[in-house]
Amino acid sequence: MASLLEPVLGPVAIDNLQRLSGGASRETWSFEAGGRPLILRRDPPGRPGLPGSMRLEADAMRACHRAGLAVPEVLVDDDGSVLGTAGLVMTRVPGETLARRILRDDEFASARGVLVDDLGRFLGGLHAIDVNELPGAHEVDSLAQYWSSYELIADKSPTFERTYDWLIANRPERTATTIVHGDLRMGNVIVDERGLAAAIDWELVHLGDPLEDLGWLCVKAWRFGAPLEVGGVGTIDQLVAAYEGAGGRPVDRDALHWWLVQKTLQWGIGCMGQASVHLMGAVRSHELAAIGRRVAEQEWDLIELLAPDEWNTARAAPLPASLPDEPGLFGRPTAREILDAVRGYLTEDVMPGTSGRLSFHARVAANMLAIVERELAQDTPPHAGDDWASLAMAVRDKLAVANPKHLST
């Protein structure tokens, strides 16, 4: 690492190297070089990314930095000849990335008041950059890409398939081709007390319709339970006004709606695909298994977007009654009581006594046990049928087990 940085910083000592959590396809490391706080992003050893993808990520941030946009400054990138795998080194930007803290902590109250405008201005500036500044970027059809992935998954979703048919029938004409971040959302931004400090995680950067970025940012999942439409911090009207005011092209609201539907479907397929990795035995992970039950959330959100009347009817309908937890052939504690006891241990002992990744995984495990408890309390199968009204009731029933809180958001 020191030899990689020497042409930029001169002779330096590397200190405090530590792996950071997060990042499914890239490793992220924090370290200091001559006392300067830096970040290393690299492909995991043995799992290289696409050739040139790390250079593309670096070049995208460099183009944004030249344009005065809020991104880390890239000091150097490497094709693997020094680091062993492709990587880049950039400045460490202070701030918070955890969405729930940004949305709830008093420290970020002022930031929440300006963040939707910051995000709109950032995307307006990004989409104004000449695509020739990123010669290695290619166009990506994300609908075709993710639907091809869906077709390889054993499990199927009638809601996803009706949505796909609607998307094919209603696809808007593209009016511009720009640089697209590809994954700008809560969780992939650094926020400080003043607002947006940096947009990060550029590994999906490509060329495409600029509305793709706006649609992805508005997906309900990225609100993390907060009510406002854009990442829980603002409205679509605010986002569009800031975007257009910063040089973004006029936003066709029908086209933006199409992209919001498409990106909600994309995340639903992503959840299904991650669960299938566990179910097929490729990677055994309770976290991946848990993500499979989030498919119902995306189905529910798609029905709200495409069939709001049926969605409202299903939402207002009474939920199936829970079965009483009576002792059976095997006595007490019952299965539900055992699950409750183990869940209590995780939430009351393990989580308060740990931090970081271990505490997070304990919370995931506790949530999974709660799902099993709710499922054991039901003996009525979900509704059947493939019209929107039947799908709304069926998904409502699944969601009442998987995550009942989502029914009220």
Instruction: Look at residue 47 in the predicted model and tell me its pLDDT.
Output: 74
With a pLDDT cut of 70, the percent of the chain lying above it is: 99
Arithmetic mean of pLDDT, 206-231: 97
Q: Reply yes or no on whether the pLDDT at 407 is more than 90.
A: yes
The CA distance from 395 to 271, in Å, is 15
Q: Which CATH architecture has domain 2-91?
A: 2-Layer Sandwich (3.30)
The SS3 assignment for 136 reads coil
Q: Reply yes or no on whether the pLDDT at 24 is more than 70.
A: no
pLDDT-derived band at 400 (thresholds 50, 70, 90) equals: very high
Mean pLDDT over each residue of the chain, to the nearest integer: 94
pLDDT-derived band at 298 (thresholds 50, 70, 90) equals: very high
Going from the C-alpha of 190 to that of each of 102, 147, 181, 243, the distances in angstroms are: 9, 31, 15, 19
**How many C-beta atoms lie closer than 10 Å to residue 368's C-beta?**
18
Give the type of residue at 18.
Answer: Q
CATH of 99-276, one of 3.10.20.600, 3.30.160.20, 3.40.50.1980, 3.90.1200.10: 3.90.1200.10
Instruction: Look at residue 210 in the predicted model and tell me its pLDDT.
Output: 98
Tokens representing residue 169 in the block: 């029938």
Please tell me what DSSP assigns to residue 155.
S
With a pLDDT cut of 90, the percent of the chain lying above it is: 82
CA 9 to chain centre: 35
Tell me the DSSP string of 280-301.
TTSS--HHHHHHHTTHHHHHHH
pLDDT-derived band at 45 (thresholds 50, 70, 90) equals: confident
Instruction: Look at residue 245 in the predicted model and tell me its pLDDT.
Output: 97
Give me the phi and psi of 385, to 5 degrees please: 130, 160
Q: Reply yes or no on whether the pLDDT at 116 is more than 90.
A: yes
Tell me the DSSP string of 57-84.
HHHHHHHHHHTT-S-PPEEEEE-STTTS
Instruction: Look at residue 380 in the predicted model and tell me its pLDDT.
Output: 77
Q: Reply yes or no on whether the pLDDT at 2 is more than 90.
A: no
378 or 132: whose pLDDT is higher?
132
CA 191 to chain centre: 16
The CA distance from 194 to 118, in Å, is 10
pLDDT digits (tens, 9 = 90+) for 163-199: 999 999 999 999 999 999 999 999 999 999 999 999 9
Q: Reply yes or no on whether the pLDDT at 107 is more than 80.
A: yes
Domain residue ranges in the chain: 2-91, 99-276
Q: Locate all alpha helices (DSSP H) within 186-294, ordered by sequence.
A: 211-217, 236-245, 253-279, 286-292
Give me the phi and psi of 216, to 5 degrees please: -65, -40
Instruction: Look at residue 130 in the predicted model and tell me its pLDDT.
Output: 97
Arithmetic mean of pLDDT, 366-395: 90
- Please tell me if the domain spanning 2-91 has the same topology as the one spanning 99-276: no
199 touches 70 (CB < 8 A): yes
Tokens representing residue 358 in the block: 């271990």
The CA distance from 281 to 18, in Å, is 30
pLDDT-derived band at 23 (thresholds 50, 70, 90) equals: low
The CA distance from 230 to 234, in Å, is 5
